[in-house]
Amino acid sequence: MTDLLQVRGLTVEYTTRRGTARAVDKVSLTLEENQTLGLAGESGCGKSTLGRAIIGLVPPPGRIVEGEIILDLDADVPYPDGIVKGGQVNLMQLDTAQYRALRGRKLAYIFQDPMTSLNPMLTIGKHFTQLIRTHDPKVSKEEALDRAGDILEALGILPERIGDYPHQFSGGMRQRVMIGLALALQPRLLIADEPTTSLDVIVEAQILEQVAELKKKFNLTTILMTHNLGVLAEVADSIAIMYCGRLMEVASTDALFAEPLHPYTQALLQSVPDVTKPEKRLTGIPGAPPDLVNPISGCMFRPRCPHAMKVCVSKVPPLIKSQTKGLVACHLYKEGKTK
């Protein structure tokens, strides 16, 4: 398979009154075409910052301080002042106009809360026409509305509701609208930032099922960010576990659930209910993540880890290959060995 996305040594920092917080710390990831990568971890672990960095929307006072983001473009992308050439492109080398030209057409993002992401003053149809015609001015308003109606219908929303406003939709339907906007220009990479957080479990299942269907229909490559590992078990091909801006473990979904290696991954899974094992005792993770403005030395998880050793205090564990062909950052393991 082709590597659609390569993230290399990406570091993102936020400057605050208290000091500088490193929200993403030298993260490297590879995502193959037509695959779904699940990005999991507690709130504040850096998932959203990583996603926003990839799409070029890190909010101030955040900034990317180092790293590369390589996207494999299948074709040239025109923009008002020129063309972004196809092939492997380092997004970090693009200017604002070039990056904007890729959003929607090659990269798309679904934000967490659709109610705050949609403009309450605009109809759903206006949202779609603005998006489509901004990227392709040659498309008429009528054609854009027809395209929007087809997208809404595919997502289970009656096309005649295209003239309604966001507040006239339920939470689940607003989320479907957000998904439709993300897919309107048929991007290659879709980043979904906890798209089901505010939904009940029934609507959540429906949304995830639709995302899976759309992935097949449009040959999407997807990054799905969530703190819910149960969700990723259903839809992800592989899972990356983040903690305090660092990658703790990366493995195929089957391998991660069958043999979680990192103590943090094990603790996360222990806190997930399993209806097939009613006797399973759920446990929480003691303590809290360390302060990113005043980070501790060594392994960031060591204050909460039941297996912490002396070396964990002084040395940051490197992300190494495990025997299960995944990656793990823990001093319990050596390269190629999991025991």
| Lookup: tokens for 16 | 């605050």
Tell me what percent of the chain is helix, strand and coil, each rounded to the nearest 5. Answer: 35, 25, 40
Give the residue-averaged pLDDT of 97-104: 93
pLDDT at 275: 66
Comparing 179 with 208, which gets the higher pLDDT? 179
pLDDT at 1: 63
Q: Say how many C-beta atoms besides its own lie within 10 A of residue 270's C-beta.
A: 14
Q: Say how many C-beta atoms besides its own lie within 10 A of residue 334's C-beta.
A: 11
DSSP alpha helices (H): ranges in 155-240?
A: 171-183, 201-218, 229-235
* Confidence category of residue 252, pLDDT binned at 50, 70, 90: very high
The distance from CA 43 to its chain's CA centroid, rounded to whole angstroms, is 13
DSSP string, 245-277: TEEEEEEEHHHHHHS--SHHHHHHHHTS--TT-
Give the residue-averaged pLDDT of 300-309: 96
User: Mean pLDDT over all residues of the chain?
Assistant: 90
| Lookup: tokens for 29 | 């990831």
Q: What percent of the chain has pLDDT over 70?
A: 96
Residue 19 CA to residue 27 CA, distance in Å, equals 21
Cis preceding-peptide flag for 286 (omega within 30 of 0)? no
* Confidence category of residue 156, pLDDT binned at 50, 70, 90: confident
Q: Domain 3-106+187-328: which CATH class?
A: alpha beta
Radius of gyration of the chain (CA): 21
pLDDT at 181: 92
With tokens 């399993």, the residue in question is 274
**Predicted TM-score of the model (pTM):** 0.92
pLDDT tens-digit readout, 272-287 = 777 677 677 778 888 9
Judged against a pLDDT cut of 80, whether residue 289 lies above it is answered with yes
Give whole-number Cα distances, 75 to 87, 88, 103, 186, 188, in Å: 7, 10, 14, 13, 11
Give the residue-averaged pLDDT of 59-64: 93
pLDDT at 200: 74
Query: Of 230, 237, 227, which is closest to residue 39 (Cα–Cα)?
Result: 227
Residue 158 CA to residue 144 CA, distance in Å, equals 16
Domain locations along the chain: 3-106+187-328
Q: What percent of the chain has pLDDT over 90?
A: 66
Give whole-number Cα distances, 299 to 54, 146, 261, 267, 331, in Å: 25, 53, 15, 16, 9
| Residues forming a β-bridge with 109 | 191
* Confidence category of residue 217, pLDDT binned at 50, 70, 90: confident
| Lookup: tokens for 108 | 């798309």
| Lookup: tokens for 125 | 């149809």
Window from 63-77, 122-136, 192-206, 224-238 with minimum mean pLDDT: 192-206
Q: If you count them, how many residues does the chain have?
A: 339
pLDDT at 109: 93
Cβ proximity of 103 and 84 under 8 Å: no
pLDDT at 324: 75
φ, ψ (nearest 5 deg) of residue 325? 75, 10
